[in-house]
Amino acid sequence: MKKLLLILFISIYANALNPISLQYMEIDVVHTYLDGKKENYKIQRNIDKNCMDIPMSPESFSEENIKDNISKECKKIFITTKGVIQPLYINDKIKTLAEIEVLDFIYNKSSKEPEKYALIDTRKFSWFEDETIPSALNVPFEDLVYDEDFKDEFGKAYSNLGIKIVDIEKNKFDFTNAKNVVFFCNGPWCPISSKSIDYLLKLGYPENKIMWYRGGMLDWSAMSLTTTKKMK
C-alpha cells in the first residue's frame, strides 16, 4: 500500500512539474462576477470522445468533409482537440515567432538568401501538398530519422536544412553550413515542429539558428494570409 501511495505521489509531483500535463487535468478556481457573486469552475479541455475518433488527415480537415461528414458537436473542436497544446517557448534560447516575424523572415531572409535561410514545414508530405505557407520547404519529422527504405527522403531532408551527412551509422553530421530556420506545423496544438526541433538539437544543430512559429497553419490562415493551393 505504501509503495502504491509513493508511486501515486511521484506521479502527481511529476505532473505538477510539467505544465503540458495540465491540459489533461482539472484546475479548480473560484470566479468572482462584477456583482460580487462567486462560482466554482474546473478549467479543463472539454473534449467530446466521439470527436477523438476522427482520422487526422488533410481529407478530414477539408471544408467539404467537415460540412458533410462531421457531426455538429465536432465541427468546431475536433481539429484542435486531436493535438497537444504546446507551450509558448521550447526553451529560453529558441525564439518563438508570430506572423509579423515570419513575414519579415520570408521577406528579408529566406526569399533573398535561400542557401542560408529556410522556412520549414515539418508536416507529412500529404499535408504540405494540400496547403502550406508559400516558399516553405517540406522536412517531415519522419524523414529526419534514417530508414533504409527511404534514403532519398532522408538525404533531401538534411540537404534542405544545409546539413552534411558524415556518418549515418554513428549519427555524425556537419552543421557548418546549417541554415537559419523557422519550423512550423499545423498549429499551437501540433507537437510535430517542436518534436523536430528537439530531435535536431540532440544531433547537434546550433540553437541560435533555430526559430519556431508556434501558431503554424491554423494561425496563419486565421490571419487571412496567403497559402498554397493543392498540387494537381
Which CATH fold would you assign to the domain 95-222?
Oxidized Rhodanese; domain 1 (3.40.250)
Cα angle vertex 124, ends 120, 127, to 5°? 90
Structure-model confidence comparison of residues 26 and 51, the more confident one: 26
Each domain of the chain, given as residue ranges in start order, spans 2-43, 49-81, 95-222
- Is 106's pLDDT higher than 90? yes
* CB 25 within 8 Å of CB 12: no
Whole-prediction pTM: 0.76
Dump pLDDT digits (tens) for 68-96. Answer: 556 655 655 555 556 788 999 999 999 99
